[in-house]
Amino acid sequence: MWEVIKSVLAAFFGVQNERQRHRDFQHGKPVAFVAAGIALAVVLVVVVAAVAIVAAR
C-alpha cells in the first residue's frame, strides 16, 4: 500500500524514476492506483482549502 501511495505522490509531484515505474507496472493493481489517485486529489483539495482558510484569517 505504501508503495502505491508513494507512486501516486510521485505522480502528483510530477517526477518518477524508471526503476520505480517498472516496479509499479509489474506489481501494482490498477484499481489501487486509481483509488489512491482520487483519494490524494481529495486530500489536496482539503489541504489547499485549509491553507486558504488559515490565510484568510
Interacting residue ranges for other proteins, rule: CB under 8 A: 7, 10-18, 21, 24-25, 28-30, 33-34, 37, 41, 44-45, 48-49, 51-53, 55-56
Secondary structure class of 40 (helix, strand, coil):
helix
Instruction: Give me the amino acid identity at 29.
Output: K
Give the nearer residue to other proteins in terms of CB position, either 1 or 14: 14
Q: What is the smallest separation between the CB atom of 1 and other proteins, expressed in angstroms?
A: 15
Q: What is the smallest separation between the CB atom of 2 and other proteins, expressed in angstroms?
A: 16
Secondary structure class of 16 (helix, strand, coil):
coil
Q: Cα separation of 41 and 50, whole Å?
A: 14
